[in-house]
């Protein structure tokens, strides 16, 4: 192959790599991400029921532990990204937590809880700040969280940054599904899809 053609072929190959590489990486917040597949266990408490990625609270009980969730493995230092979409299939209740970032270990407890009120307002359970609107029945909503452990936890709804928290260092884990908050109640059916995790 003539030298000029070899160079062009190399350029074409590089161009192809440049153009196609992002498909194998995290799609948000630049590059450097590595895909990960943390394990999880299914949590069903009270009237919570889990069927693959469909999470249902069948009762309207306003007390006790009512939850249908996936609890993923604990992660430590570094930066972690979660991506997933939820669709509220039906909701007679209100104040249902959909996505949580939990702190593990001696300081265990919910660090960030994204919940939905009747009518589709998404809010941060701690502090009550409105995160977004539009989570009406049937609408698919995309959630990305980027957690720089020891620095910051950012939440994106449908591509827009809607919330940020300072984050302590320590161990954390992701949970999602349908979980009755202390002031909430079912019934609710939430279907999640497109779940992906990365770290860097």
Partner 1 sequence: MLKSLAVLPVLALLLSACAATESASPGGALSGKLDTPVDVTLRWENTGQPVAGRVLEYANEPNGEYTVLKFLAPEETSYRHPDLIPETRFFYRLRPYYGTASPEQSVTLPEPKPGDKPEEDPHEWAVPQTLPGAPAGTQSLRANASAATPTEVKATVMTSQGIRFTWRDNASDEEHYAVEVKAGAAPAWSTAALLDPNINSFGLVTLPEERTAAYRVRAFYYGPASNVVELRTGRGKP
| Residue 60 interacts with partner 1 (CB under 8 A): yes or no | yes
| Residue 134 interacts with partner 1 (CB under 8 A): yes or no | yes
Q: 149 CB contacts (<8 Å, ≥6 apart)?
A: 75, 76, 77, 78, 79, 80, 167, 169, 170, 172
Closer of 103 and 185 to partner 1 (Cβ)? 185
3-state DSSP assignment of residue 7? helix
3-state DSSP assignment of residue 181? strand
- Out of 78, 105, 119, 150, name the contact with partner 1 by CB under 8 A: 119
Strands 140-148, 79-91: pairing kind = antiparallel
Q: 108 CB contacts (<8 Å, ≥6 apart)?
A: 102
Query: 180: closest CA among 64, 43, 54?
Result: 64
Contact at 8 Å (CB) between 188 and 178? yes
Query: 147: closest CA among 168, 130, 126?
Result: 168
| Residue 2 interacts with partner 1 (CB under 8 A): yes or no | no
Q: How far is the CB of 185 from partner 1 (least distance, A)?
A: 6
- Out of 141, 149, 178, 190, name the contact with partner 1 by CB under 8 A: 141
Q: How far is the CB of 62 from partner 1 (least distance, A)?
A: 7
Q: How far is the CB of 144 from partner 1 (least distance, A)?
A: 7
| Residue 144 interacts with partner 1 (CB under 8 A): yes or no | yes
Closer of 28 and 108 to partner 1 (Cβ)? 28
Within 15-54, the residues that bind partner 1 by CB under 8 A are 15, 18-19, 22-23, 27-31
Binding site for partner 1 (CB under 8 A): 3, 6-7, 10-11, 14-15, 18-19, 22-23, 27-31, 59-60, 62, 85, 89-94, 118-119, 134, 136-142, 144, 156, 158-162, 185, 187, 189, 193-194
């Amino acid at each position: 192959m003539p030298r000029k053609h070899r160079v062009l072929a190399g350029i074409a190959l590089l161009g192809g790599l440049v153009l196609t590489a992002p498909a194998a990486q995290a799609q948000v917040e630049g590059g450097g991400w590595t895909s990960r597949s943390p394990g999880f266990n299914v949590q069903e408490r009270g009237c919570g029921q889990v069927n693959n990625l469909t999470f249902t609270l069948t009762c309207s009980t306003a007390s006790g532990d009512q939850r249908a969730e996936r609890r993923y493995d604990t992660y430590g230092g570094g930066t972690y990204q979660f991506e997933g979409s939820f669709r509220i299939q039906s909701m007679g209740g209100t104040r249902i937590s959909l996505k949580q970032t939990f702190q593990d270990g001696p300081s265990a407890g919910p660090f960030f809880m994204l919940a939905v009120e009747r009518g589709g307002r998404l809010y941060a359970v701690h502090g009550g700040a409105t995160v977004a609107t539009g989570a009406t029945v049937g609408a698919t909503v995309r959630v990305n969280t980027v957690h720089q452990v020891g620095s910051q936890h950012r939440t994106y709804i449908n591509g827009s940054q809607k919330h940020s928290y300072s984050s302590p260092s320590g161990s954390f884990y992701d949970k999602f599904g349908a979980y009755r908050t202390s002031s909430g109640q079912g019934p609710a059916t939430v279907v999640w899809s497109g779940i992906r995790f990365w770290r860097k």
